[in-house]
Amino acid sequence: MQTSVQNTARITDIIYFHGMTLQVITYEGIKYVTARNLVDLAGLDWRTAKRSLLDEENILLYAVKLFKSPVIAAQSGSPTTPNDVIHIQLNRAYFYLARINTKIMKAMGKATAAEKLLNLQIEWAQVLHDYETKGVAIKDKNKTDTAELMNLMKLRQMANPTEKIAFTHLLHQKMTELGLPISNQQQDLLNQ
Please report the pLDDT score of residue 183 as a whole number.
72
Q: What average pLDDT does this structure show over 2-29?
A: 76
Please report the pLDDT score of residue 165 as a whole number.
81
Please report the pLDDT score of residue 49 as a whole number.
93
Q: What is the pTM of this model?
A: 0.64
Q: What average pLDDT does this structure show over 26-42?
A: 91
pLDDT at 140 over 70: no
Q: What average pLDDT does this structure show over 111-131?
A: 89
Half-sphere exposure of 147 (CA within 13 A, CB side): 12
pLDDT at 77 over 80: no
Please report the pLDDT score of residue 2 as a whole number.
46
pLDDT, mean over the chain:
81
pLDDT at 111 over 80: yes
Please report the pLDDT score of residue 76 as a whole number.
53
Dihedral angle at the C-alpha atoms of 52, 53, 56, 58, nearest 10 degrees?
Answer: 100
Please report the pLDDT score of residue 67 as a whole number.
93
Q: What average pLDDT does this structure show over 160-175?
A: 81
Own/partner contacts of 37-42, CB < 8 Å, gap of 24 or more, are: 38/88, 38/93, 38/96, 38/97, 41/17, 41/97, 41/113, 42/97, 42/100, 42/105, 42/110, 42/113, 42/117
